[in-house]
Amino acid sequence: MITKETTRRLDPDKVVDSALGIADDEGPAAISFRRLAAQHGVTAMALYRHFKDKDDLLAALGDRLLADVVLPEPTDERWDVQLQNVLTAFVTALREHPRVADLTLLRILVSEPGLAMAERIMELLTEGGFSVDDAAEVGRQSISSLISLVTTDPMAREVSDPVAREDSLRMKRASLAALSPRRYPLITAAADTLICPTSRDRYYALGIEMTVAGIRGVLREEKQ
Amino acid sequence: MITKETTRRLDPDKVVDSALGIADDEGPAAISFRRLAAQHGVTAMALYRHFKDKDDLLAALGDRLLADVVLPEPTDERWDVQLQNVLTAFVTALREHPRVADLTLLRILVSEPGLAMAERIMELLTEGGFSVDDAAEVGRQSISSLISLVTTDPMAREVSDPVAREDSLRMKRASLAALSPRRYPLITAAADTLICPTSRDRYYALGIEMTVAGIRGVLREEKQ
DNA sequence: GGGAAGAAGTTTACGCCGTATGTATACGCT
DNA sequence: AGCGTATACATACGGCGTAAACTTCTTCCC
């Protein structure tokens, strides 16, 4: 007989939820044991029953993001098309929590969903013609680029407070507007785009396309 | 007549030097006002005369890295060859201080050397056929990828203590070695490369080539 | 059902951190 | 000489991660 779970007052999964919420609103620096504990009506030290230390908690956040990746089923499309779909699935999961997206990097080769994705990417790269070792290096670099695509998403920063966000944008705009168009003609011409790209979807689509194009490009060079 | 500088006891440039040293040895988290102050025989609060707050100090670190970029002179080589050289110069500067390389991102459009590099990159991209706005987006993404190339350099982490480094590598190796080769045949086959690439120079060369290849690739697609 | 065993949560404390506020010192200029 | 200002110091506050020792609650076995 399963007893009612009044005993386990603290659910680690819910703590991770809270931490993600805090990070989404105020950035990862705002995550603290004391604050999480307070949100769950518990002492800070209670969290140490469930997380070895703060790194362990952050690892759990990374694992959560990776678990949210919805890996597409293999098809009979070309390897690079399938790869693009896998990478898109990865980015789609990270986009939900851009401020902590980089926590996934260290967990990919540890968590089960991360390993599954890595293996799949290696499959597709070797199918495309890379050696196993080259696939490893190219795959790592691609993943790393896409993570930074998400963490540096110019439209996702400081979403918490729309007022602060507008202020920050105004300041950046002013800073670029103050530049001499003579000395920096292209930067001043592209100021709006540099500060904030036109479309978020286009931003991500372009980032993923560049990554896949880069992979195709080095493949051609390796093959001569 | 210039008096002897016994008065200005604290040189902000030297403080930045110290901070870079600390970050190189122990990571950016080890940088603290108190520690820097102690190293310079001064109180923590004295630093506030020279840096508005910690973000300001970190911005100064970013500016320092950007100032160390040695931008190659324009030549009459193809735009993409020149671009590769500019990006290589950028990466070369960042590699000196991989743990804080990401501090440059926010300073590129602020510091003079950063602006000079950005303008140069935009020039080459538009020469290649990108519109000004596309050049902005592609350039941003490239810079961001290269920064993450440096910050995630697998051979630069925890260089401080060779013993700890070896331990960490051993643990990772063991973790991958414990995987089922049946379920993860490619990951286990590439384990060594995934943990630590063969050559550092090759790692960086490949990263830069992928970036430039990605740029060429999306250019072709945009043009149809 | 009673009592041991262990897990979960609390208390307290230490040594860090960034930084707000107020005060003393010493130089450069008139 | 003396004033203004730049520089550095002293003190303090609230927050952080976490080590160690404690209480309390569950569970499970006899």
Closest-CA residue of A relative to B126 is A186
| pLDDT band for position B160 (cuts 50, 70, 90) | low
Residue B207's nearest CA partner among B136, B128, B148 is: B148
Q: Which of 4-33 (B) contact A at CB < 8 A?
A: none
**Residue ranges of domains in chain A, CATH in brackets:** 12-51 (1.10.10.60), 67-154+200-222 (1.10.357)
| pLDDT band for position B156 (cuts 50, 70, 90) | confident
Residue whose tokens read 């550092």: B200
Q: What is the pLDDT of residue B1?
A: 28
Residue B7 scores a pLDDT above 50: no
B135 close to A (CB below 8 A):
yes
Tokens standing for B29? 């988290």
Closest nucleotide over all strands to B57 (CA to C1'): C18
Query: Along the 224 residues of chain A, how does pLDDT read in single tens digits?
Result: 333 344 457 899 999 999 999 999 999 999 999 999 999 999 999 999 999 999 999 999 999 999 999 999 999 999 999 999 999 999 999 999 999 999 999 999 999 999 999 999 999 999 999 999 999 999 999 999 999 999 999 888 766 677 778 888 899 999 999 999 999 999 999 999 999 888 999 999 999 999 999 999 999 987 76
Nucleotides of D under 7 A from a protein CB: 6-11, 15-21, 25-27
Q: What is the pLDDT of residue B197?
A: 87
B181 close to A (CB below 8 A):
no
- CA torsion angle for B224, A80, A213, A128 (degrees, to 10)? -120
Q: Contact, A189 vs A176, CB < 8 A? A: no
Q: What is the pLDDT of residue B80?
A: 97
Closest nucleotide over all strands to B5 (CA to C1'): C27
Residue B6 scores a pLDDT above 60: no
Chain B residues within 8 A of A140 when measuring between CB atoms: 154, 194
Closest-CA residue of A relative to B134 is A193
Of A133, A193, A197, the CB nearest to B193: A133
Residue A61's nearest CA partner among A9, A98, A86 is: A98
Of A136, A175, A190, the CB nearest to B190: A136
